[in-house]
Amino acid sequence: MDDLTASATAPALALKMRDIAFAYARTQPPVIALAQLDVRAGERLFLRGASGSGKSTLLGLIAGILSPQAGTIEVLGEHPQQMSASKRDGFRAERLGVIFQIFNLLPYLPVGANVTLPCRFSAARAKAADAAGGIDTEAKRLLSRLGLEADSVWSKRSTDLSVGQQQRVAAARALIGRPGLILADEPTSALDANSRDAFIQLLTEECDAAGAALIFVSHDAALASHFDRGLDLADINTAMETA
Amino acid sequence: MARFPILTLALRSISNRAGTALLTILTVAISVTLFLTVEKVRHGARASFENTISGVDLIVGARSSSVNLLLYSVFHIGDATNNITWDSYQAVANAPGVAWTVPISLGDSHRGYRVVGTTPAYFEHYQYGGGRALVFAEGRSFETLFETVIGAEVARALGYQLGEEIIVAHGTGAVSFIEHDNNPFTITGILAPTGTPMDRSVLVSLEAIEAIHLEGPTGAGTGLSVEELEAMDLTPNAITAFFVGLDTPVVALRLQRQVNTYPTEPLQAIIPGVALAQLWGIVGAAERTLAAVAAFVVLTGLVSILTAVLTSLNERRREMAILRALGARPGHIFTLLVTESAGLALAGALLGTALTYAGLAGFSPLLEARFGILLPTLVPGLYDLAIIGTVTLASALLGAGPAWRAYRNSLADGMTIRV
């Protein structure tokens, strides 16, 4: 795996975590104690965890919003921990796509503006979307790929959409500009079983098409079959054992 | 949105909460309107007050206090401590450097309005409002003995027309027991409104004042005919005060000293501008209180912005987390909130300024006619820009508090929203 460190060519690992320890305060017990976690480029990883198992904290660490007290995190060949705070924010805007549980969208922006928002914070993603035919065209293509009628929803307020539609818009926003890693934090928890399966199907297909790795966290073990690999957070996060 | 994503987001976010935002803007607008209106009227009132009389270099009367002399000679409030002799008047009038003098004689009234005995030169030299001369709305100056010119308010309040006859009474009360009713005066002129005590004055000639008092100050007037009176020398022995115009204002201080040390009679000369400023120092306390109250109203407006931003913080933590996940820096979050509060304040201050000037434009003729307040300018100036800037800046500073809280929240929350 030595040849997989950051280089001019695309790294073979989208995520490499080693000996991670994280607590919200030094006086509190650790929330994450993780010896190793690797995700290959383009891999679709399912991470199961019960409520309070540290799923969202782990995603915060991967996104570089939280910093571990110990250990190293390598994301898409880069070391966000070693970057300045503003570079880390820039790196996240450029290379990561994030989908939340619910209420993913900014209520005051129409659907189109919500999808293209990452391109406003990252020139690289704007460039990538532009290269794919233009920012708006790419956004509409993604919306269509995710099963929405792009032209009819484009100018709608996000609050006028159903929860299922909102999640698809959020997925399109995470995917625009071809980020290398998509983090999805319980994105299907508010969907019924049919909508959930359809959404995961579309998401994984689009990640494949974009060549992005996907880390999908959920408490629902039944979803594991949709992914290349499934892990139980309880198996890798030893902090929960000591807690 | 590409160049200023935060500014655009702030505007969109505000428009999403249009109802609350409009109310906040309106609160600021009303407070700024109140503040600016008070300031404009305050400055206008002060300027109008200080311009109650202009073009007069000195006012000379019997020795008392300068404010007292100003009050009775210009504002027709109170009474002179003493008269001054015609000889002393002549001595000052003929002093080197004196261009003109206008004597006045007070002590009589008409239905509560002061009667001013003077000469037609009064209409030529008396100025107000920074150099505005008296204008006749109707008619002309008095020429013969029992003719009179009345101020605008006298004519309006008592419904007088040109040609009507009025009786002058002894003393200055609204109800008089001794009326000089042998000698009615015919109205020959009505002055245009000035917003000064002139509007409440009845002007007659000095000789007429002398004539109605020929048989003692408390009589019904003189029984002599007009022809007989006009044949007489009615030059008064004493007058109440006189206004002095100088060839050059540099003479004023020297002449003032000479008058104040006049050996024959205790006289006093005052420079009107100085005495007016002294008087304003006494009556201006209310005006300063009003300004302070208006300033507190602006502060209340600013606090309403703070309240609006603070109450929206919790419900917007998710929005902040989404922005952070999309690559927004904590600084962006801080800027977003500061921009919002500054934007609300700017909109409120601009609206308030517009309302102020629209209101003043509509009401300034009424203010001038009814209260004598001349508003200096009805075009927004640097002062208004400074107020708008101060309100916006103060609001941005106030917004920094909640912005800092949002910044801390966004750091702590990360992409997880623990509301």
Q: What is the 3-state secondary structure (H, E, C) of B331-351?
A: HHHHHHHHHHHHHHHHHHHHH
Residue closest to A101 by CA, chosen among A200, A172, A170: A170
Given an 8 Å threshold on Cβ–Cβ distance, is A92 in contact with B12?
no
Torsion angle of alpha carbons A129, A135, A140, A143, nearest 10°?
50
What length does chain B have? 419
- Find the angle CA(B32)-CA(B36)-CA(B42) to the nearest 5 degrees: 145
Average pLDDT over residues B50-79: 86
Q: Is residue A211 part of a domain?
A: yes
What is the CATH number for A214? 3.40.50.300
Contact A183, A63 (CB under 8 A): yes
Q: B16 to chain A, minimum CA–CA distance in Å?
A: 5
- Residue-wise over B18-27: b if at least 16 C-beta within 10 A, else e? eeebbebbbb
**Residue B60 in this model has a pLDDT that exceeds 90:** yes
Residue with the bigger pLDDT between B1 and B66: it is B66
Q: Which residues of B touch A105 (CB under 8 A)?
A: 322
Cα nearest neighbour of B318 on chain A: A103
Q: For B65-184, list the strands marked E by DSSP.
A: 84-85, 98-110, 113-118, 127-128, 132-133, 136-139, 147-150, 165-166, 169-170
Q: What percent of chain A has pLDDT over 90?
A: 34
Residue B352 has pLDDT above 70, yes or no: yes
Per-residue pLDDT of A176-203, as tens digits, reads: 998 999 999 888 887 788 778 888 988 8
Backbone torsions φ then ψ of A43, nearest 5 degrees = -75, 150
CB within 8 Å: A63 and B318: no
Tell me how far apart the alpha carbons of residues A15 and A80 are, in angstroms, rounded to a whole number.
11
Query: What integer pLDDT is reported at residue A115 of this predicted model?
Result: 93
Average pLDDT on B96-117 reads: 91
Q: What percent of chain B has pLDDT over 90?
A: 28
Cβ-based neighbour number of residue B126 at 10 Å:
22
Out of A212-221, B117-126, B167-176, which region has the weakest mean confidence (pLDDT)? B167-176
Q: How many domains does chain A contain in total? A: 1
**pLDDT above 80: residue A7:** no
Cβ contact (<8 Å) for B329 and A59? Answer: no
A99 in a structural domain: yes
Parent domain of A142? 43-66+83-232
Residue in chain B closest to A107 (alpha carbons) equals: B16
Does residue A78 lie within any of the structural domains?
A: no
**A217 vs B: CB within 8 A:** no
Backbone angles phi, psi at B190, to 5 degrees: -125, 125
- Which residue is closest to A65 within chain B, CA to CA? B414
User: Min CA distance, A156 vs chain B (Å)?
Assistant: 13
Which A-chain residues 6-65 have CB contacts (< 8 A) with chain B? 56-57, 59-60, 63, 65
Percent of chain B with pLDDT over 70: 89
Q: Is A27 part of a structural domain of the chain?
A: no
Residue among A90, A98, A113 whose CB faces B415 most closely:
A98
Q: Residue A242: its pLDDT value, please?
A: 52
B197 pLDDT exceeds 90? no
Q: Return the pLDDT at B287.
A: 78
Give the residue from chain A lying closest to B410, CA to CA: A65
**A129-133, Cβ contacts within 8 angstroms, sequence gap of 24 or more:** A129/A176, A129/A177, A129/A178, A132/A178
Question: Over 90: is that where the pLDDT of B324 sits?
Answer: no
Measured in angstroms, the CA of B294 and the nearest CA of chain A are apart by: 36
Q: Which residues contact B369 (CB under 8 A, 6 or more apart)?
A: B193, B195
Any B CB within 8 A of A68 CB: no
Predicted local confidence at residue B239, as pLDDT: 93
Mutation for B interface: A31, A98, A105, most B CBs within 10 A:
A98
The whole-number average pLDDT for the span B146-166 is 91
Q: Classify residue A134: in a domain, yes or no.
A: yes
**Does position B211 have pLDDT exceeding 50, yes or no?**
yes
Look at residues B66, B185, B32 and name the one whose alpha carbon lies nearest to residue B115.
Answer: B185
Q: Do A60 and B414 touch (CB under 8 A)?
A: yes
How far is the alpha carbon of A177 from chain B, nearest alpha carbon, in Å?
12
Residue located via tokens 């969202």: A56
Cβ under 8 Å to B: A residues 123-162: 126
Q: Which residues of chain A lie closer than 8 angstroms to B415, CB-CB?
A: 56, 59-60, 63, 65, 98, 100, 185
Cα–Cα distance between B56 and B70 in angstroms, integer?
12
Question: ipTM of this complex > 0.85?
Answer: no
In a domain, A143, yes or no: yes
- Cα separation, B24 vs A59, in Å, equals 38
In a domain, A127, yes or no: yes
Burial of B93 (0-12, 13-18, 19+ CB in 10 A): middle
- What is the rounded CA–CA span in Å between residue B340 and residue B347? 10
pLDDT in tens, A24-80: 888 888 889 999 999 999 999 999 988 878 888 898 899 888 889 999 999 999 998
Quickly state the pLDDT bin for A241 (edges 50, 70, 90): low
pLDDT at A3: 36
Within a 10 A sphere around the Cβ of B237, how many other Cβ atoms? 9
* Dihedral of alpha carbons B289, B290, B294, B297, sign: positive
Would you say residue A168 lies in a domain? yes
Q: Identify the CA nearest to B109 among candidates B87, B137, B79.
A: B79
| Three-state DSSP class for residue B286 | helix
